Structure 1
Amino acid sequence: MSMYGRDPWGGSLEINAADSATDDDKSRNLNDLDRAALSRTLDETQQSWLLGPAEQKKKKKYVDLGCIIVSRKIFVWTLGSIVAAALLAGLITLIVKTVPRHRHNHAPADNYSLALHKALMFFNAQRSGKLPKHNNVSWRGSSCLSDGKGKQGSFYKDLEGGYYDAGDAIKFHFPASFAMTMLSWSVIEYSAKYEAAGELNHVKEIIKWGADYFLKTFNSSADTINTMVAQVGRGDTSGGSITPNDHYCWMRPEDIDYERLVTECSHCSDLATEMAAALASASIVFKDNRAYSLRLVHGARTLFQFARDQRGRYSERGSEAAIFYNSTSYWDEFVWGGAWLYYATGNDSYLQLATNPGIAKHAGAFWGGPDYGVLSWDNKLAGAQISYVVSYNIIPKCRLRLFLNPGYPYEEILRTFHNQTSIIMCSYLPIFTKFNRTRGGLIELNHGRPQPLQYVVNAAFLATLYSDYLEAADTPGWYCGPNFYSTNVLRDFAKTQIDYILGKNPRKMSFVVGFGNHYPKHVHHRGASIPKNKIRYNCKGGWKWRDTTKPNPNTLVGAMVAGPDRHDGFHDVRTNYNYTEPTIAGNAGLAAALVALSGEKTTGIDKNTIFSAVPPMFPTLPPPPAPWRP
């Protein structure tokens, strides 16, 4: 058989020499082929063909933080939240630092507001009767609970309550009525300022305490009366009398055991009309309590009619009232009380009386005497001829003309009152010489006589109020002769006088107890001078506290003492009442002046409340006729 055969598949079966290589050569050739194949990049599909499916790596479900192991998902969310919060905080900080801020800083309370808080507290210390739990005077307690009780057949059942007048325990109704009228007037004009000072409810409580007591002093449910109570307690020690009474004894009111006499009067036009003014003005303060307000108005009407029917002065010669609170006339009270009853009722008959030129002339409204325009519970003129004029009779009518302009038949007399008020305001200015001033700047409205501050605070109130009246009427000032003065001049006058009282004086001393660091420590006041130590001191037993040189153990907060002398001197001596005794009439004027000056000047007065009961001066216009139709 030939070694050359035919390939059955069509190819040659001849073996070449080159194909007869050794196994080592074949292996070497295969290696070269493998390297050539591997040097070419394979895609994923080719790799999968060659290598088969790759083994998948499992992600860890937990994160090892060293001390603890937490879920990876929780870790990621927590870390993301922290980063987001940090970014948000940074954004907020950036906005706060770059955007301009509007700061609303509340100004600290001014001195007038601070002093107002204290001035009103004095009335809490002067309360008589069963005291409320919130009286807030720790050394005071209920006192004189038997006043007016036990008298058979009397028109009054009890006379518990009211206010002690000063450093004693007598209840003088004439100056007390004036005090309540002043407080009510200040609330009517400046209720917003009382509210801002946080004292509106407090001052209304003070007024109500007084008004409730006044309603006990006469038959307030009747339409007509023929007598009323003028005072409770006695103080006359003339002639060497040693009968225990409110001046001879030096006792805490809570310990009084002697008889307290009640003084009645049947011809007391001045007292009755002053009390009518107090009730009428209080009725405006409490106008939102309709039943109580109407009760006050009814009492005011009854008193005013009594004053006109049974004329006379309550302090006739020989009476105890003539010694301590002598009234020189009742004509001014007719004008004053008539004005307040008109405001409280809107009845024109009271306006007609209040603007009667004859009554105004009797009151001395057109005579410029040495005490002309000096406001007080009463104002005496030097010498035998006595005339009484107080600017509080004129100011309300000036207000009536400024804001209501009632026209005929009142315009002429109201214009006269307005002009007289301008003259009074001029007399307060330093450029005019009607009133002297001390070297320290205190105006001498009582011409150097003792106890000057009660007149000064009233003038400060009137000056501020008149200034606010003018500004509310868009009037920038007023004329004194040919010279024009802005309203700021009046406010500056009021501020200098009140600042003097609060400590800007040559003695650097506040005349309001408890205000500032330097104030009177020996106030003429029985309750403040006797310690509350569970020891009852009898009538003479308290004399040792009256005569001691030690400071009072109890602080009579807010009491404005009588004041310095004409040389700015002051003697802090308990037995010298001309320097150290406070009164509720004086403190009422102080509170009125302080609230008028307190807070922002832009607050101003309330132009509407005082006229709430006054009907429109002019009839309303009729409605227009119906349109004409052919």
Structure 2
Amino acid sequence: MTGRSGGGRGGGRGDRKGRPLPKNIIPTGVLPKDDMVKFRGDSGLDDGNKSLVGGYYDSGNNIKFSFPMAYTITLLSWSVIEYHPKYEEIGELDHVKSIIKWGSDYLLKLFIHANQTSPSSTTLISQVGGVSNNKTSTDNDVNCWQRPEDMRYERPVSSCDETASDLAGEIIAALSAASLVFNEDKKYSTNLTKTATDLFDMVTKEDPGFVQGMYTTKDECGGQAREFYNSTGYKDELVWGGTWLFFATGNATYLRYATENLVSAEEEESSVDKGVFYWNNKFTANTVLLTRLRFFIDLGYPYEESFILSNNNVDSLMCSYLSHTTHKTQGGLIFLKPDQYAPLEYAATASFLSKLYSDYLAVLHKSSSSCTNGTSFSVENLQDFSMSQVNYILGDNPMEMSYVVGYGNNYPKHVHHRGASIPWDNQWHSCAEGSTWLNSENPNPNELLGAMVRGPDWNDMFLDQRDKPWFTEPTISSNAGLVAALIALHDPPHSSSSMNGAEALGIDNSGIFHNIHFI
């Protein structure tokens, strides 16, 4: 990485060259033989009567939530599409692609087409695991502090129909973005785009009486996810899905959908989510993608109005990151949702977007851009802000605490994570034993290397306690943001030192446009 090494005031296991990828994005199912996490084994082998094996557990629990998992795959894919030269330089390209493929393989299983025996039934799987209706046992994914390898309780499956617009939109985005990552594998890439296209057609149909909506508004669909990943809108996901599907196919129909619905997506955006890119809000990131189109492929009519709107939104976003009036802790961490915990997730994506946008400007040889109040910001301002947030995460903060496990000398030792907190001792541990490990004051016996926890509070304070997940729990969605930020900030490949433009920055300026041929 450019800039200081982070990690508090010294080195540590995380200071080795390269390795921007957390090792805590751990697959479920039959694990690959070369899996790097030595304290995990095969698990979830009966999920969905064996039809839903695979994917990723969400965080410190053993539940598979489709909504944030799809977002995770979209974001990781985006980082590869933009910065694959950097991934390749540090020897991590195959690794990150294997992570994405494990996720996209699972996402393909979640969309079940209507068929002749059930012509009116299209199914989207929203969750595997949780609380079952089994009255004879209280053991479940919520109550049991148990390794996933030790699960012996019933794991229910929650499903939706095609009115789960937000869930569908994010799956469409994930499959579309992944198709660009695997464009050299024509068969697999085509399968991803075909599934995304079929699903898009299904959830955007204009049939009389068809009603779009949020997956968590229906108990059978997202009732259990509501407490963890409650969705507050769906238009941003449909626009997000349409935008990525345009990149994946080059079909202008999807771009027209995205641009024609952009304003309605902005109007639906809740006030507390303004300027925040995370699993529940894609509007901000979508404006970055549309601005990218405006900068590098000027499509003109009928898209220009939406592109200008997007460009203005992105400039305003960057100005807000740099503004003295934006909530920041005394230690310098941007606090985009000051009434909530888990600030690092939002800081990581802000770091990614700001560095990415600075690279767009640099490729165009634009040294600065303007804010609505008459001030301006430079490419260097954005880069400094992006680096400051990552450095805070890695240890440059008042507690001198690295919030990434294994990085630096001082990092969380009591991560809220079932698998990390229970010894890998070839013994089966029951649900009843779980409280012993959850409430133990001893450090986790297994280090979840690379895992970013939720982080400190508004006062830069952090409690390294396993039973306080609002401080110590990692999630796949937040760690995807960290990966994106780290690779964006990583030094360009050494071979690019004598090059100009995008190559010198380590960004692939044209790959995202690979399938756009109608210009």
Question: What is residue 454 of structure 1 aligned with on the other side?
Answer: 345
Give the deviation of 1:532 after TM superposition: 1.0
Question: What is residue 198 of structure 2 aligned with on the other side?
Answer: 302
Aligned residues: 488
Give the deviation of 1:474 after TM superposition: 1.9
Question: What is residue 41 of structure 1 aligned with on the other side?
Answer: none
Q: 1:247 aligns with which of 142, 145, 169?
A: 142
CA contact (8 A) 1:181 1:281 kept: yes
Give the deviation of 1:548 after TM superposition: 0.6
Amino acid at match of 2:151: I
Question: What is residue 410 of structure 1 aligned with on the other side?
Answer: 303
CA contact (8 A) 1:116 1:595 kept: no
> Identity of counterpart residues, as a percentage?
46
CA contact (8 A) 2:272 2:337 kept: no
Aligned: 1:315 with 2:237: no
Q: 2:166 aligns with which of 270, 274, 279?
A: 270
Question: What is residue 59 of structure 1 aligned with on the other side?
Answer: none
CA contact (8 A) 2:114 2:121 kept: no
Question: What is residue 594 of structure 1 aligned with on the other side?
Answer: 486
Question: What is residue 183 of structure 1 aligned with on the other side?
Answer: 76
2:236 alignment partner, SS class = helix
Question: What is residue 473 of structure 1 aligned with on the other side?
Answer: 364
Amino acid at match of 1:392: A
- Tell which structure's C-alpha radius of gyration is larger: 1
Question: What is residue 411 of structure 2 aligned with on the other side?
Answer: 519
2:110 alignment partner, SS class = coil
Amino acid at match of 1:437: K
**Cα distance between partner residues in 2 of 1:241 and 1:308:** 42
TM-score, length basis structure 1: 0.74
Give the deviation of 1:321 after TM superposition: 1.7
Worse-superposed segment, 347-356 or 477-486: 477-486
Aligned: 1:122 with 2:24: yes
Question: What is residue 20 of structure 1 aligned with on the other side?
Answer: none
Give the deviation of 1:315 after TM superposition: 0.5
Question: What is residue 495 of structure 1 aligned with on the other side?
Answer: 387
Aligned: 1:135 with 2:35: yes
Give the deviation of 1:116 after TM superposition: 6.4
**Cα distance between partner residues in 1 of 2:421 and 2:125:** 30
Give the deviation of 1:235 after TM superposition: 5.0
Amino acid at match of 2:74: T
Amino acid at match of 1:468: D
**Cα 1:368/1:484, change in 2 over 3 Å:** farther
Question: What is residue 332 of structure 1 aligned with on the other side?
Answer: 236
Amino acid at match of 1:422: D
**Cα distance between partner residues in 1 of 2:17 and 2:273:** 28
Q: 2:123 aligns with which of 201, 219, 227?
A: 227
Instruction: Give CA deviations for 1:245-274 in whole Å, capped at 9, x if unaligned.
Output: 111001111110000001110121100110
Question: What is residue 497 of structure 2 aligned with on the other side?
Answer: none
**Cα distance between partner residues in 1 of 2:252 and 2:451:** 40
Instruction: Give CA deviations for 1:12-71 in whole Å, capped at 9, x if unaligned.
Output: xxxxxxxxxxxxxxxxxxxxxxxxxxxxxxxxxxxxxxxxxxxxxxxxxxxxxxxxxxxx
**Cα 1:367/1:142, change in 2 over 3 Å:** closer
Aligned: 1:399 with 2:299: no
**Cα 1:261/1:236, change in 2 over 3 Å:** closer
Aligned: 1:144 with 2:44: yes
CA contact (8 A) 1:224 1:305 kept: no
**Cα distance between partner residues in 2 of 1:246 and 1:577:** 16
TM-score, length basis structure 2: 0.89
Question: What is residue 9 of structure 2 aligned with on the other side?
Answer: none
CA contact (8 A) 1:110 1:598 kept: no
**Cα 1:603/1:113, change in 2 over 3 Å:** farther
Aligned: 1:350 with 2:246: no
CA contact (8 A) 1:472 1:604 kept: no
**Cα distance between partner residues in 2 of 1:221 and 1:284:** 27
**Cα distance between partner residues in 1 of 2:225 and 2:428:** 30
**Cα distance between partner residues in 1 of 2:142 and 2:21:** 25
CA contact (8 A) 1:336 1:354 kept: yes
**Cα distance between partner residues in 2 of 1:552 and 1:502:** 20
CA contact (8 A) 2:3 2:387 kept: no
Question: What is residue 477 of structure 2 aligned with on the other side?
Answer: 585
Q: 2:279 aligns with which of 377, 380, 389?
A: 377
Give the deviation of 1:342 after TM superposition: 0.3
**Cα 1:170/1:614, change in 2 over 3 Å:** same
**Cα distance between partner residues in 1 of 2:165 and 2:99:** 25
**Cα 1:109/1:563, change in 2 over 3 Å:** closer
Instruction: Give CA deviations for 1:535-583 in whole Å, capped at 9, x if unaligned.
Output: 2111111220111100000000111001000000001110110000000
Give the deviation of 1:472 after TM superposition: 1.2
Aligned: 1:576 with 2:480: no
Give the deviation of 1:340 after TM superposition: 0.2
Alignment of 1:528-539 (within 5 A): 528-539=420-431
Question: What is residue 265 of structure 2 aligned with on the other side?
Answer: 363
**Cα 1:563/1:281, change in 2 over 3 Å:** same
Question: What is residue 437 of structure 1 aligned with on the other side?
Answer: 328
Give the deviation of 1:113 after TM superposition: 8.3
CA contact (8 A) 1:270 1:312 kept: yes
CA contact (8 A) 1:225 1:302 kept: no
**Cα distance between partner residues in 2 of 1:557 and 1:525:** 12
Amino acid at match of 2:241: G
Question: What is residue 257 of structure 1 aligned with on the other side?
Answer: 152
Unaligned runs of 5+ in 1: 1-106, 150-156, 380-388, 618-630
**Cα 1:208/1:224, change in 2 over 3 Å:** farther
Question: What is residue 205 of structure 1 aligned with on the other side?
Answer: 98
1:485 alignment partner, SS class = strand
2:386 alignment partner, SS class = helix
Give the deviation of 1:127 after TM superposition: 1.1
Give the deviation of 1:108 after TM superposition: 12
Amino acid at match of 2:39: W
CA contact (8 A) 2:112 2:122 kept: no
Say which structure, 1 or 2, has more relative contact order (CA 8 Å, 6+ apart): 2
Aligned: 1:544 with 2:436: yes
Unaligned runs of 5+ in 2: 7-13, 494-503
Amino acid at match of 1:345: T
CA contact (8 A) 2:113 2:123 kept: no
**Cα 1:146/1:368, change in 2 over 3 Å:** closer
CA contact (8 A) 1:471 1:487 kept: yes
Instruction: Give CA deviations for 1:419-449 in whole Å, capped at 9, x if unaligned.
Output: 1110011000043x1x211111111111141
**Cα distance between partner residues in 1 of 2:236 and 2:62:** 28
Aligned: 1:564 with 2:484: no
